[in-house]
Each structure stands twice: as C-alpha cells, then as structure tokens.
Amino acid sequence: MTIRYPNGRRYTTTQPSMKKKQAKQMTYSNRGMTLEEDINETNEYYLHQGKAVIHKKPTPVQIVQVDYPKRSAAVIKEAYFKQASTTDFNGVFQGRYIDFEAKETKNKQSFPLKNFHEHQVSHMKQIVAQKGICFVLLRFTITDEVYLLDAVHLIDYYEKQDQKRKSILKTDIEKYGHLIKIGYHPRIDYLSVVQDVYFG
C-alpha cells in the first residue's frame, strides 16, 4: 500500500531488523515496546479505571486506489495524508482538556528539536493560549527514562533554536521537566505527574 503526505511525498517506514528488535527486547525494560504503544496501554488502563478519557488522534487519510481481489475483501493500494498531524494524544482528565505529543530519542545527553515540527508547536501554543493542559512526553530509550515537559518550555527552546542549540540538554529536561515512574499497570503513569504539576 502506498500512502502519501499532503505534498505528494511518499510515506515510508523503516522496519528494524530482527536482530536489532531482539536486542532491544532483551536490553530495555520496556520489552521492545515503543513509547506510543506504552502510552496506548496506559490510556486503556486509565479508561477502564474511570480515571481519564485520552486517546491517540486518528490521522486523516484520503484513499485514492482500492483493489477488490475478492467480493469479501478490499485492499487499499494508494492513500494520502489529508493534512499534517498536530499532536499525538488528547482527551479529558478531571474536567480539563489535555493535549500532548510523545517522542523518543537514542541520544544520551540531549533531545533533538528536529523531532518537532512547526505546525505541532503552533498547535501547542494555541492550546496553552486556551488554558488547556499541554506537554510533551520525552523518552530516552537507552536508559528508558520518560520525562513530562510542559509545552511552554518546549515552545521556548524551539523558538530560540536558531540563536541557541538545536536540541534540549538532558540536564535542562531534568531541571524543567518531571521524571515519570515506569511501572506495570499503568506502564507510564503520566497522570500522576499531571495531577501534581497542574492540579497540585
């Protein structure tokens, strides 16, 4: 199946080799799961516990070519992303709107700002202006550390990257962000941090 961005560019994903995948599963305590998978699992836990309603945002796709090899089956052959995505997740927690992005890096000492796009940062600014709760979850995969960083700090670093660094130092993330405890149920209990930071 071919999927294209709004500008017509082809969307591709790189599949990690089996050897790398096995090494990741043995090395990291996250059992090879991506940050997105961990958050989806956590959100399911929150939903079943009645704690919050938070979901991954669907990406709007325009289907342009479909094959019907059988009457009972359809295969999508070509599709385009209708528009650039904003942030990954949104929902409601204790009557407040929550909106956040999740990113991970293999870097040990900094988080590259190129992981964020201008339209995502603009969206975060709009959420902050409306008094919504907006943040990013940043995972350092080597150490399996996840930090919650308020969007205000990310926006500030992003807008000053031409005069300063093209990344956020891990020491700054430790200073302005909040380390999230990694557990089993829920896997990444980010709402405990949200409770302390935004409702404390």
- Report pLDDT for 2: 62
Query: What pTM was estimated for this model as a whole?
Result: 0.74
- Report pLDDT for 162: 76
- Report pLDDT for 27: 36
- Report pLDDT for 25: 40
- Surface-to-core class of residue 148, CB atoms within 10 Å of its CB (0-12 exposed, 13-18 middle, 19+ buried): buried
Comparison of pLDDT for 116 and 59, the residue scoring more: 116
120-165 pLDDT, tens digit per residue, is 999 999 999 999 999 999 999 999 999 999 999 999 999 998 777 8
- Report pLDDT for 61: 59
Looking at residue 132, the DSSP 8-state letter turns out to be -
- Report pLDDT for 67: 79
Average pLDDT over residues 51-66: 78
Residue 14 has pLDDT above 60, yes or no: no
Q: Does domain 31-58+85-199 have CATH number 3.40.50.720?
A: no
111 Cβ contact partners less than 8 Å away, ≥ 6 residues apart: 103, 105, 138, 140, 167, 168, 170, 173
66-120 pLDDT, tens digit per residue, is 777 776 777 776 655 555 567 889 999 999 999 999 999 999 999 999 999 999 9
CB count within 10 Å of CB 113 equals 18
Beta bridge pairs of residue 148: 137, 178
Across the chain, what does the average pLDDT equal?
Answer: 83
* Paired tokens of 197: 């930071």
Query: Given pLDDT bands bounded at 50, 70 and 90, which one contains residue 6?
Result: low
- Report pLDDT for 24: 40
161-190 pLDDT, tens digit per residue, is 877 789 999 999 999 999 999 988 899 999
Average pLDDT over residues 41-65: 85
Residue 23 has pLDDT above 50, yes or no: no
